[in-house]
Copies of this chain bind each other. A is one copy, B any other.
Amino acid sequence: MTAMAAALREYDAFMRAALEQASAAAAAGDVPIGAVIVRDGQILAAAHNRRIIDADPTAHAEILAIRAAAAALRDWRLTGCTMLVTLEPCCMCAGAIVLARLDRLLFAAADPKAGAVRTLYRLCEDPRLNHRVEVLAGLRAEEAGELLQRFFQTQRLAGKK
């Protein structure tokens, strides 16, 4: 197995952990998006979207994972860390990923409405900002998208918006 294949296999296991977080969000009644932050092959933090559960507009999976990882390291700089998240981050989360100095971001599904890493903006790779993040997109995108579609379909059937 090449080094690249080994890295992708490792990332795949971490993306499955992020998808498990997303499923947990749906089970709790929130939009199914999950994130994990890893360093040196270990999960430092895992979180899911809690916007509705916590009535907090900033409680996206990425923000909660960043806060948990920084608390674990007692450092606001997450140098050497990689985030895996099931949906392309929005402006808030892409901005936070840059501020936290993460090395790398892997996202699963693209977000055609609000994605700020590849779709509407490329905030993680802006040379004017004081840090740039390596981006990889598409790993387990189908599964991540299906979780979201199923959730919104169930919401519509239940008459919620």
Tell me the nearest residue of chain B to A90, going by C-beta: B95
Q: Tell yes or no: A134 within 8 A of B by CB.
A: no
Q: In the complex, which residues 86-145 of chain A have their Cβ closer than 8 Å to any Cβ of chain B?
A: 90-96, 98-101, 113-114, 116, 120-121, 123, 126, 128-130
Q: Tell yes or no: A52 within 8 A of B by CB.
A: yes
How many of chain A's residues have a CB under 8 angstroms from any CB in B? 39
**A interface, over-half SS:** loop
Does B95 contact A76, Cβ atoms closer than 8 Å?
Answer: no
Does B96 contact A94, Cβ atoms closer than 8 Å?
Answer: no
Taken residue by residue from 9 to 29, chain A's Cβ proximity to chain B (1 for < 8 Å, 0 otherwise) reads as 000000000000000000000
Does A76 contact B52, Cβ atoms closer than 8 Å?
Answer: yes
Q: Chain A: residues with CB nearer than 8 A to chain B?
A: 51-52, 55-59, 63, 66-67, 70-71, 73-78, 90-96, 98-101, 113-114, 116, 120-121, 123, 126, 128-130
Return the 4 tightest CB-CB contacts between A and B, nearest first.
Answer: A91-B95, A92-B95, A57-B100, A57-B76
